[in-house]
Amino acid sequence: MNSNQHTTYHLFCFVYLGFAHLSNENLSEKVMEEIERKVALWMDVNPSNIVEFNRILHETSDWYNNLKSEERLETVLEIAKSIKNIEGFTLENRKAFLSDIRDIAVADGRFSSTEKQMHDIIGRELGINIMTTDKNIKKKLGF
């Protein structure tokens, strides 16, 4: 799938999946369900677009899994930055998107320091200055 075929929903799903995997390599069923729920809400999934929803989930998963592990973080951050520039995607939309990231993080019942760091970095790429960590995150994550 080339980048011209990526919809906004692919981009959202990619950041959600990348965030979840890079901050905790063991993706629980609860986390995956939360990612699917968030994408479904953005897409307003109903019987008429359920096939498209499933296609987006599969294509995005394949896209993410086909990247070299060292390219994943950079790609997630590039996409988060590009989401900020989607025409008509307001600051309120970006805040809702970042809130989705937090919901995905806590789907397994905890919000780890690695998840907090990733959350804050993605927030910065979205143009939202928020700190959930207690320490300065100028250093690069250890992925």
| Sequence spans of domains, the chain | 3-125
The pTM (predicted TM-score) of the whole model is 0.89
For residue 136, pLDDT over 60 is answered with no
- How would you class 97 by CB atoms within 10 Å of its CB: exposed for 0-12, middle for 13-18, buried for 19 or more? buried
Question: Do the Cβ atoms of 22 and 67 come closer than 8 Å?
Answer: no
Question: Do the Cβ atoms of 112 and 102 come closer than 8 Å?
Answer: no
Instruction: Give percent helix, percent strand, percent coil of the chain, each to the nearest 5.
Output: 70, 0, 30
What does the block give as tokens for 106? 């806590």
Q: How far apart are CA 103 and CA 73, in angstroms?
A: 20
For residue 135, pLDDT over 80 is answered with no
Residue 115, CA atoms < 13 Å, CB-side half-sphere: 24
What's the pLDDT score for residue 133? 61
